[in-house]
Amino acid sequence: MAYRFSFFVFVINLSFNWLCAQSISEYDQTLKMGDEYYAGGDYINAKASYEYAGRIRPTEEIPKEKLTEVMVILREKMAFMDQYTQVITEADNYFRTEEYELAINKYREASTIIESEGYPEEKIREIEGQKDEVRAKQIAYDDAVYRAEKYLKYNKYDKAVDEYEKALKAIPDDETAKQRILELTAEAEEMERTLEEYDDIVQNADRLFTLKYYENAKEEYQKASEAKPDEDYPNIKIGEINKLLVKRGEYDRLIGTADEFYMSKNLALAKTKYQEALAIYPAENYPKDMIDKTNAALIKERGADVIFGEAIKAADVFFIQKDYVNALKEYENASSIKPVDKYPVKKIAEINLLLEEIENAELNYNMAVKRGEQLLSVSDFVNAKLEFEKAKSLKPKEKLPVEKLRVINKSLKAQEEGMASYNQSIEKGQGFLDSGDYENAKLEFENDEIETNNTFVSITIRFFVLLII
C-alpha cells in the first residue's frame, strides 16, 4: 500500500515538472517570436506574441513591459495612419479632378508621413506620365490654333476651320475651338454669299457703265461697295462716274443752246451743238433724234446732194477724231439720203465693228480689273499681276492698272525677300540642329517668315518643343 502511494506521488511530481518545462519552453519561444516581430517592425504580431507569452506566465514582467512598448508604438502608428489616410484621400480627390500639381504635392506629403508606403510614388509616376500626354496635346492644340489664325489673315476660312478641328481633336472638350469652328463656318458662308452677290452686282454695274447709264451704274457700284467694303474696284468706278457726271452740266448747256438755235431756225449751229452733246453722252437719244430732225430740215432747205456731201465730209472728220458715235450718225444720215452709195454703208459696218470691239475691250478691262482685285484679296500676287497687265494692255491710259501693278510688284519683291529669309532660317536652323543646339534651332524654325503650311517646319517645331520639355 505504501509502495503504491509513493509511486502515485512520483508520477504526479514527474508530470508537474514536465508541464512546467513545457510551459517555460513555449513561453521563451513565444517571447522570442515577439521580439523578432518587434525588430522587424511588425508590431501587430509582436503585440499578439507578447499577449500570449503573458498568458503563459502571468507573473512575468517582461511580456507586460514589451506589450506596453508595442502599444505606445501602435498608438503612434495609428495617429500617423490617420494623418496619412487623410492626406491620401485629398491627393486622390485632386487626381480625379485632374488637378495634378496639387495631387503631386499631397502624394509627396503622404510619402513623408509613412515612408514605407509605395502608393504615393506610384501615383506620382502615373501623374507625370499623364502630364507628358497633356503637354503633348497642348502643343498640338497651340500649333493648330497658331496656323488657323495665320490662314485667317488671308481669308482662308476652309483651312482655318481644318486647323481648329485638329485643335479640337487634340483637346476634344475645348469650348474655344468649338466656338471658333462655328464662327468661322458662319463667316465663310456669309463671305461666299457676299462674294456671289458682289459679283452679280458688279457685272450689272459694268454693263450699265458700258451703256453709258452712269447714274444707274453708280447706284449698282455703291451696292457692290456696301457688299464688300474692302474692294477698291467699285469705289474706283464711282470716282470715274463722278467725273463723267460733272459733264452733265456741260451736256445740259449744249442741249439748251442747240434747242434755241433750232427754234430760231439756225439749223447748222443747232446740229453742231447737238453733235457736241452727243459726244458727251453717246447713249442719249434726244440729241440723236434732234440731229435727225435738223438733217431733214437742212435737206429741204439746201438740197439732198449738198447735205449728202457735207454729211460724208463731217463723218470722215469725226471718224479720224475717233468720235465714232457722231461719225456713225453722219454716215447713217448720208446713207439715208443715198441708200445705193456703198461708201457710207461700208463705213457704218466698219464703225459698228469698232464700237463692238471697244465695248468688248471695256468689258474685258472691267473683268480683268475685277479678277485682279479678287486675286489681290487672297494675296495671289502672281495671277493678280497677269490680270492687271491684261487690263493695262486693253486701256493703256488708265491709271488704275498702273497703280495696282506698282503695289503688286512691291509685294512680290517683299515676298521674294521673305523667301530668302525663309531659306536662311531653314539653313541656320539645320545648322543648330546638327550641332545639337535645339533651343536656337527651334527659334529659327519658328521664324515668322517661314510659311505656316510648311509640313517639315511644322513637324520640326513640334519635335523640338517636345524635346526641350
pLDDT by residue (tens digit) across 301-341? 899 999 999 999 999 999 999 888 899 999 999 999 999 99
| Angle, alpha carbons 321-328-202 (nearest 5°) | 85
Residue 464 has pLDDT above 70, yes or no: no
DSSP state of 127: H
pLDDT tier, 16 (very low <50, low <70, confident <90, very high otherwise): very low
C-alpha distance from residue 148 to each of 35, 101, 162, 203, 295 (Å): 71, 31, 8, 33, 70
Contact 135, 469 (CB under 8 A): yes
Q: Of 69, 75, 77, 67, whose CA–CA distance to 47 is shortest?
A: 67
Q: Give the mean model confidence (pLDDT) for residues 14-38.
A: 70
- Distance separating alpha carbons of residues 68 and 47, to the nearest angstrom: 9
pLDDT-based confidence at residue 376 (cuts at 50, 70, 90)? confident
Contact (CB, 8 A) for 141 and 170: yes
The set of residues, in sequence order, having a beta carbon less than 8 Å from that of 77 and lying 6+ positions away, is: 43
Query: What pLDDT was estimated at residue 313?
Result: 94
Mean pLDDT, the chain, whole residue set: 82
Rounded-to-integer distance, Cα 91 and Cα 121, Å? 12
Mean pLDDT of 3-24: 46
Least confident of 162-171, 279-288, 314-323, 451-460: 451-460
Pairwise CA distance, residues 281 & 253, whole Å? 13
Assign 422 a pLDDT band (cuts: 50, 70, 90): low
- The mean per-residue pLDDT over the stretch 437-445 comes to 70
What's the count of helices (H) and strands (E) in the chain, helices before strands?
Answer: 18, 0
pTM: 0.41
Percent of the chain with pLDDT over 70: 87
Q: Closest Cα partner for 308 from 329, 327, 336?
A: 336
Counting residues of the chain whose pLDDT is more than 90, the rounded percentage is: 20
Quote the pLDDT of residue 418: 65
Residue 240, burial from CB neighbour count under 10 angstroms (0-12, 13-18, 19+): middle
Q: Distance from CA of residue 219 to its chain's centroid? A: 34
Residue 261 DSSP code: H
Angle at 331 between CA 328 and CA 337, to 5 degrees: 140
14 has a pLDDT exceeding 50: no
Mean pLDDT, range 29-53, rounded to an integer: 88
Cell numbers linked to 290: 434732234
Residue 415 corresponds to which cell in the numbers above?
515676298
- Spatial separation of the C-alpha atoms in residues 380 and 194, rounded to whole Å: 20
Return the pLDDT at 158: 87
Q: What are phi and psi of 264, to 5 degrees?
A: -90, 10
